[in-house]
Amino acid sequence: MANIVAIQMTSMPDVAENFKQIRQALAGMQFDEPTLVVLPECFAWFGATDKSMLQQAETLGEGPIQSELQRLAREFNIWLVAGTIPIKVQDEARFTATSLVYDDNGERVADYQKIHLFDVEVADNTRSYQESRYTKAGEHVCVIPNTPFGRLGVAVCYDIRFPGLFMAMEQLDVLALPAAFTYKTGSAHWHPLLQARSIENQCYVVAANQSGTHVNGRETWGHTCIYSPWGELLMESLESPGIVYSQVNSSYLEQIRATMPVKQQNRFRSKLV
C-alpha cells in the first residue's frame, strides 16, 4: 500500500516560518511505504495583502521556495503536492496560483495553475474576495497517470465547486486538493463538496486546508481531511495545525468500481484540454 498525508497549517507572511511548520510536521512522520504529502494553498506566504504575493512570485523552475520544496521531497523521501505558490507570467501585474508536484527524488513531475478563481462576496471579516485581480487563471487540468498512488489529479480550493473539472480528469485514484477555504464557506460546504467529489469520482480525496485567523484578519476553516472512494471520512484535523493520513487500498478501489461502474455508465462525458 501507499500512504496519503495532508498537512494543516496556519501560514503567515513569512516563508522561513512556514517552512519551519512543514519540517516539524514531516519530522513526526515515519512511513516505510511510498508517501504522498499535500500542503495547503498559499502554504509559503499567506495573511498579507494579495498584492504582496507578487513580491514572492518566482519563475517556474527557479527560486528559493521551489529549491526548498525539492530538498524536502528528497530529504523525507516523499511525493509532494506543494499547495500553491505564485509563479510569474508575462503580465507583470499578475501571477498564476501554481501547485507543484515533486517525486521522491525531488524532480518536478507536474505543475497545475488554479483554474477557478475566488471572486465572491462572503459575510466574514474580509467581505470581498477578488482573486482574479492579481491571479491569472489556468487553462489545463492536471493528472499524473503513473504514480505509486495510482492516477493522481490535482485541483485547488474553489475548483472543488465545479464537478465538470473532475469529470474531465477521467478516472482518478487520488485527488489532491490544497485549499485556503474561508471559515464561513468551509463551515457550510467543505465536507459536502469533498464527500461528493470522492463519491462521484470513486477516488480518495486528500484535502489540505489553512486554519485559524491569519495576521490580516482572514479566517480559514481548517478541517483538513481524507475521504475514501466510498465517501467515508477516514481522518480529520479540526482547527490546530497538524497532519492527517491514510492509505490507498487498490483492492478496495477495484471492488467499488466493479460493483458500481459509474465511469463506464456515465453518458455525459466532457474533457478539457
Q: What is the pLDDT of residues 7-44, one digit of tens each?
A: 999 999 999 999 999 999 999 888 889 999 999 999 99
Catalytic site residue from 41, 42, 58, 136: 41
Known active-site residue 41? yes
Q: For position 243, what pLDDT does the model report?
A: 97
Residue appearing with cell numbers 471559515: 183
Q: Which residues contact 96 (CB under 8 A, 6 or more apart)?
A: 86, 87, 89, 113, 114, 135, 136, 137, 138
Q: Which helix (H) or strand (E) holds 234?
A: strand 233-236
Q: Specify the pairing of strand 142-147 against strand 150-154.
A: antiparallel
Residue appearing with cell numbers 467499488: 256
Catalytic site residue from 42, 142, 157, 203: 157
Q: Is the pLDDT of residue 211 over 50?
A: yes
Q: For position 30, what pLDDT does the model report?
A: 85
Mean pLDDT confidence for 163-179: 96
Known active-site residue 157? yes
Q: Is the pLDDT of residue 266 over 70?
A: yes
Going along the chain from its start, the domains and CATH numbers come out as 2-265 (3.60.110.10)
Q: For position 50, what pLDDT does the model report?
A: 82
pLDDT band at 273 (very low <50, low <70, confident <90, very high): very low
As a whole number of angstroms, the distance between CA 241 and CA 21 comes to 8
Integer-rounded Cα radius of gyration of the chain: 17
Q: Is the pLDDT of residue 220 over 50?
A: yes
Known active-site residue 51? no
Contact 239, 224 (CB under 8 A): no
Catalytic site residue from 42, 58, 114, 219: 114
